[in-house]
């Protein structure tokens, strides 16, 4: 699990550094992704429950689902040298980064959580990221 969350930290950095996005329908749409304010309330607690970790993982997965297709689109734009598309993508990535503005605080919390605390959801997210080639 530590590798998963170290990778998520790297993923968050990629979100910031690449600033690349796509306008395709996002996988995360339609899912009940927690808001940053909901996540902030959880992070303010001194002791997190398994349900709290589940919410944090939903937040991470929401960001992942939105950024993965954007990163793929960015790679295509970079390979083709389409700088207009890259600029458009950068604006969309910035919007996603703002939407998931608590990611830099969530990553260390889940990174330090045990496999038991993260449960099956953490394992499934790791498998999903591996299958996508993100890790």
The ranges assigned to domains in the chain are 2-127
Query: What pLDDT, on the 0 to 100 scale, is given for residue 39?
Result: 97
Q: Is the pLDDT of residue 24 over 70?
A: no
- Note whether 74 and 24 are within 8 A (CB): no
Q: 């207009």: which residue's tokens?
A: 84
- Residue 37: band (very low, low, confident or very high) from pLDDT cuts 50, 70, 90: very high
For 74-122, write each residue's pLDDT tens digit.
Answer: 888 888 888 888 888 888 888 998 999 999 999 999 989 999 999 999 9
Query: At residue 26, does pLDDT exceed 50?
Result: no
**Cα gap 11→102, rounded to integer Å:** 14
Report in angstroms the alpha-carbon separations of 1 from 45, 46, 105.
22, 22, 17
pLDDT in tens, 55-86: 999 999 999 999 888 888 888 888 888 888 88
Greatest pairwise CA separation for the chain in angstroms: 49
């Amino acid at each position: 699990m530590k590798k998963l969350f170290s990778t998520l930290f790297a993923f968050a950095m990629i979100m910031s550094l690449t600033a690349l996005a796509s306008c395709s329908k996002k996988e995360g749409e339609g899912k009940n992704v927690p808001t940053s304010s909901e996540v902030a309330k959880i992070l303010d607690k001194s002791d997190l429950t398994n349900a709290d970790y589940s919410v944090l993982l939903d937040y991470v997965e929401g960001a992942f689902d939105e950024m993965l297709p954007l990163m793929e689109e960015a790679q295509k734009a970079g390979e083709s040298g389409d700088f207009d598309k890259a600029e458009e993508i950068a604006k969309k990535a910035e919007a996603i980064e703002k939407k998931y503005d608590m990611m830099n605080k969530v990553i260390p919390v889940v990174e330090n959580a045990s496999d038991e605390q993260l449960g099956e959801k953490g394992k499934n997210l790791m498998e999903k990221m591996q299958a996508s080639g993100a890790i």
